[in-house]
Structure 1
Amino acid sequence: MTEEQFRYLPDTAEDEKEMLAVIGVESMEDLFTDIPEGIRLKEELAIPAAVSESELLKQMKSIAEKNVSAGQMPIFMGAGTYDHYIPSVVDAVISRSEFYTAYTPYQAEASQGELQAIFEFQSMISELTGMEATNSSLYDGFASLSEAVGLAAAVTKRNEIVLSQAVHPNARAVIHAAAKGRGLDVIEVLMEKDVTNFNVTRCLTTPDTAAIVVQYPNFFGSVEDLAVVKKIAEDKGALLIVMANPLALGILEAPGNLGADIVVGDTQPFGLPMSFGGPHCGYFSVNQKHIRKVPGRIVGETLDADGERAFVLTLQSREQHIRREKATSYMSSNQALNALASAVCMAALGKQGVQEMAQLNVDKAAYFAQALQDKGFAILNQSPFFNEFVIDLPFPAEEANRALLEAGIIGGYSLAETYHKPNQLLVCATEKRPKEEIDRFIAVLEGIKHA
């Protein structure tokens, strides 16, 4: 049997016979003797008959072609996953076998390249967030936010979380789910137009509050006033948790400089394709006083026996490294390859490139919003926004999305289900959206308006 002949096929009858002989049984049925006869499947599986490899590939391709991607149509949907420029060097680096096939770098002496890559990732994220330390990545931004809530509760010994409704609805769902197991009470703060209602936040924050959670920019693209939230948190001894878009931090003031205690987020805007929503890469940044409570682990820099620069895994608070009851989190893996992709992307862009890319997002969204207002459409956002904003339409958002799709455009995110605003559409304009595509989008909305 050669690899060329049997790339995807199961073992032959002869192969099965040889393996059964090695383990000392006569038939495949002998392997299932411990399973009661009454619950065994007697009939054949209800699956289609086998086809040839070429036929299977043809079928799968036809199914895949039913999807519409941003490679075929311009996309104006953000809502947590964004269509950004990815330098070609990113794929070139992460496709190298020493990175592509690597898992967790348990043996530091044999994993210096991967450890250095993670160390650089941590360093760049710490610079963007204005925090003193960053871990070596979590599954995604929502998982990171949930872990931040857990850290805050552990540090403060309190059990209430004040959560802004301007935080991504999926992130809020993750927090609520995790809170049940941690015995935490989550109190949601209503919004005031496009930002968190700070008066309500102040009223809901008590001596039992472990943390206030906000997003920066928030789910609607608007920039929250972190200094105000920090003052509210400080007055009650609570921590400030900020979920921040790392690209936006290229031009916004770093949350750490505004008093954030924990900064988390998702590095998808840096080098990670949308891929129908994942996988992503979460980051987790803190200051020195909370570093021993960080989930996962941190890659540190040291000197080896010869005095040369070397990298090690340190502060490994995951349950695989220490006693389970001492672990800070259930986290048992990381997104090292995706973290590497984000690090390569940031390095390729450079500090000036990140700032220019962020500024392009601001400029494109500003043009988009102004052009819509010039055509008589209302914009919900009253606060400064990054690359997303909400259009208050005179017709259902889903109707707009259907018309846009018919015109060859992937529209925005309807706020009908998550915020009960059927006529509001969250749209995003990244650096990849030229003026022509923005104008086409507006023309479609005008067509519906005047129909």
Structure 2
Amino acid sequence: MTAYLPMDREERREMLASVGVDLDHLFDSIQESQKLKKTDFSGLQQEGISELEVVERLTALADLNKRTDDYDSYLGAGFYDHYQPAAVNHLISRTEFLTAYTPYQAEISQGTLQAIFEWQSYISRLSGMDVSNASLYDGASAAAEAALMACREKRLYKVFVSAGMHPEYIETIETYCHAAGVEVEVGALNEAGKTAEFPTEKGYAAYMVQSPNFYGVVEDLPLLVEKAHATGALAGASCDLISLALLQRPGDLGVDIVTGEAQALGIPMSFGGPGVGYMAVTQKLLRKMPGRIAGETVDRDGKTSYVLTIQAREQHIRRERATSNICTAQALMATSATIWLALMGSSGIRDVAEQSAAKALYLQEKLLATGLFENTYDSPVFREFALTAKGSLDLYKLNQDLLAEKIFGGLVVDDNRWLLAVTEKKSKQAMDKFVETVVRLAQAQ
């Protein structure tokens, strides 16, 4: 594969002329009022600059960013700072993965297809579900697709969503459902930070919760299943995959649809993306599931091989009659997560989960002992927890002051709640220093 070779305007014109196209006519469909008339760009540098100068300028711009490798970070809220072994980035940088196209031609795409199949296998094992797909864009769109899938299955157009789901997930669900004419009812959390009140009447396609939820609280999935199935609705859960190394798998509890964000599987935070969504369902819902599905089979010589299966390529372009308009996958990010899972193994994933849970509890207790905070919710949490500031403590100012100390504080929610996350990367020394800094800065307010 060659590097990208740009063409100048004259070369583009010659290329288009060879197929009978005029460059200016390509834009005839754009209204004249919307076309850029300006031809004098005096603010732009007239002469080109060297590659060295380009690198220097871009490096200077990149250095304006504040990164977790330079700062002590306690930010979470959906994206988490877990460790990525060096081998992961090395392997996904291979051009077979880095620039792979949708593997329609199975005979030349066995590596990509096997990588997708292994991803699906890991997701099914972690979630306890029968089948999973090749991945979705992110956790938010996966949850929204789950809601629409439930509506297609039940032929009902109303879903119940817990307020404990990530706010951006709820917004995405509402956006998808608005266009599809689906009503979204958002149910409140109780004082323990859990979803306890579910609708008792029929007419809902699905009841959906997130566990651990946005505040880190572990939800009662058996209660979700009981309440949903009692009214004929499907039970949907958005779950953190690392937490499932410790908690009961949703599939073993009777959940029908499991979705979530898999960024925590060693994918860098990258200022908020890209991540990778996952979806796993029961066998009954297999043909209603959106996205690609890779399957294992044998070729005419009896050798193991992999193909895209269940869905026709053309079904995704059938507009409103399609199962879903999702006709792609976050294959590179899914491959990265798959390699991370393979390198960690079952014991490694459990160790990451145990360390994240234990260190979060340690920091929670240390911060509560300062007297500056109280628990927002007195419930079991995983990796993340919310504290409510006491008195006149200004959390926004506290975060600004922490930033000057090269620390990313937690996310401020509703002005007086502080959402903090801790992963296996955090040391006791770092957490103790963080608590000491918080106390010093709070006293100075």
Deviation at residue 389 of structure 1 after TM alignment: 0.2
Could you tell me which of 48, 52, 56 is aligned with 2:49?
52
* 8 Å Cα contact 2:291/2:326 also seen in 1: yes
Query: Who is 1:191 aligned against?
Result: 189
Query: Who is 2:273 aligned against?
Result: 278
Query: Distance in 2 between the 1:258 and 1:252 partners?
Result: 11
* 8 Å Cα contact 1:318/1:329 also seen in 2: no
Deviation at residue 401 of structure 1 after TM alignment: 0.8
Could you tell me which of 249, 258, 264 is aligned with 2:244?
249
Tell me the percent identity. Answer: 39
One-letter amino acid of the counterpart of residue 448, structure 1: L
* 8 Å Cα contact 2:134/2:331 also seen in 1: yes
Q: Equivalences for 1:188-337 in 2 at 5 Å? A: 188-198=186-196, 200-201=197-198, 204-316=199-311, 323-324=318-319, 326-337=321-332
Q: Which secondary structure does the structure 2 equivalent of 1:218 belong to? A: coil
* 8 Å Cα contact 2:76/2:384 also seen in 1: yes
Q: Which secondary structure does the structure 2 equivalent of 1:209 belong to? A: coil
Query: Distance in 1 between the 2:412 and 2:253 partners?
Result: 32
Query: Distance in 2 between the 1:174 and 1:371 partners?
Result: 36
Deviation at residue 323 of structure 1 after TM alignment: 4.4
* 8 Å Cα contact 2:316/2:323 also seen in 1: no
Deviation at residue 91 of structure 1 after TM alignment: 1.1
* 8 Å Cα contact 2:126/2:244 also seen in 1: yes
Query: Who is 2:68 aligned against?
Result: 70
Q: Which secondary structure does the structure 1 equivalent of 2:100 belong to? A: coil
Structure 1 residues 37, 353: closer, same or farther in 2, change over 3 A? closer
Query: Distance in 1 between the 2:68 and 2:293 partners?
Result: 35
Query: Who is 2:339 aligned against?
Result: 344
Matched, 1:385 2:381: yes
More displaced 10-residue stretch of structure 1: 189-198 or 27-36: 27-36
> Considering only aligned residues, what root-mean-square deviation do their CA atoms show, in Å?
2.3
Query: Distance in 1 between the 2:421 and 2:8 partners?
Result: 50
Query: Distance in 2 between the 1:38 and 1:191 partners?
Result: 51
More displaced 10-residue stretch of structure 1: 63-72 or 28-37: 28-37
Matched, 1:423 2:416: yes
Q: Which secondary structure does the structure 1 equivalent of 2:355 belong to? A: helix
Query: Distance in 2 between the 1:107 and 1:207 partners?
Result: 45
* 8 Å Cα contact 2:217/2:381 also seen in 1: yes
Query: Distance in 1 between the 2:284 and 2:420 partners?
Result: 39
Query: Who is 2:397 aligned against?
Result: 399
Query: Who is 1:367 aligned against?
Result: 362
Deviation at residue 196 of structure 1 after TM alignment: 2.9
The TM-score normalised by the length of structure 2 is 0.92
Deviation at residue 380 of structure 1 after TM alignment: 1.6
Structure 1 residues 131, 385: closer, same or farther in 2, change over 3 A? same
Gaps of 5+ in 1: 416-420
Query: Distance in 1 between the 2:336 and 2:5 partners?
Result: 30
Query: Distance in 1 between the 2:133 and 2:266 partners?
Result: 19
* 8 Å Cα contact 2:150/2:205 also seen in 1: yes
Query: Distance in 2 between the 1:244 and 1:30 partners?
Result: 51
One-letter amino acid of the counterpart of residue 134, structure 1: S
Deviation at residue 154 of structure 1 after TM alignment: 1.0
Query: Distance in 2 between the 1:338 and 1:76 partners?
Result: 23
More displaced 10-residue stretch of structure 1: 180-189 or 370-379: 370-379
Query: Distance in 1 between the 2:27 and 2:259 partners?
Result: 48
More displaced 10-residue stretch of structure 1: 72-81 or 376-385: 376-385
Query: Who is 1:418 aligned against?
Result: none
Q: Which secondary structure does the structure 2 equivalent of 1:128 belong to? A: helix
Query: Distance in 2 between the 1:448 and 1:239 partners?
Result: 48
Q: Equivalences for 1:51-130 in 2 at 5 Å? A: 51-53=48-50, 54-130=52-128
Query: Distance in 1 between the 2:86 and 2:16 partners?
Result: 49
The TM-score normalised by the length of structure 1 is 0.91
Query: Distance in 2 between the 1:289 and 1:24 partners?
Result: 53
Structure 1 residues 29, 291: closer, same or farther in 2, change over 3 A? closer
Query: Distance in 2 between the 1:311 and 1:71 partners?
Result: 39
Q: Equivalences for 1:148-187 in 2 at 5 Å? A: 148-187=146-185
Q: Which secondary structure does the structure 2 equivalent of 1:195 belong to? A: coil
Deviation at residue 195 of structure 1 after TM alignment: 2.3
Query: Distance in 1 between the 2:133 and 2:256 partners?
Result: 15
Q: Which secondary structure does the structure 2 equivalent of 1:192 belong to? A: coil
Structure 1 residues 16, 118: closer, same or farther in 2, change over 3 A? closer
Matched, 1:432 2:428: no
Deviation at residue 43 of structure 1 after TM alignment: 2.9
Structure 1 residues 284, 55: closer, same or farther in 2, change over 3 A? same
Structure 1 residues 85, 52: closer, same or farther in 2, change over 3 A? same
Structure 1 residues 161, 110: closer, same or farther in 2, change over 3 A? same
Deviation at residue 229 of structure 1 after TM alignment: 1.5
Query: Who is 2:8 aligned against?
Result: 11
Structure 1 residues 56, 293: closer, same or farther in 2, change over 3 A? same
User: How many equivalent pairs are there?
Assistant: 437
Deviation at residue 58 of structure 1 after TM alignment: 2.6
One-letter amino acid of the counterpart of residue 173, structure 1: E
More displaced 10-residue stretch of structure 1: 42-51 or 404-413: 42-51
One-letter amino acid of the counterpart of residue 215, structure 1: Q
Structure 1 residues 42, 211: closer, same or farther in 2, change over 3 A? closer
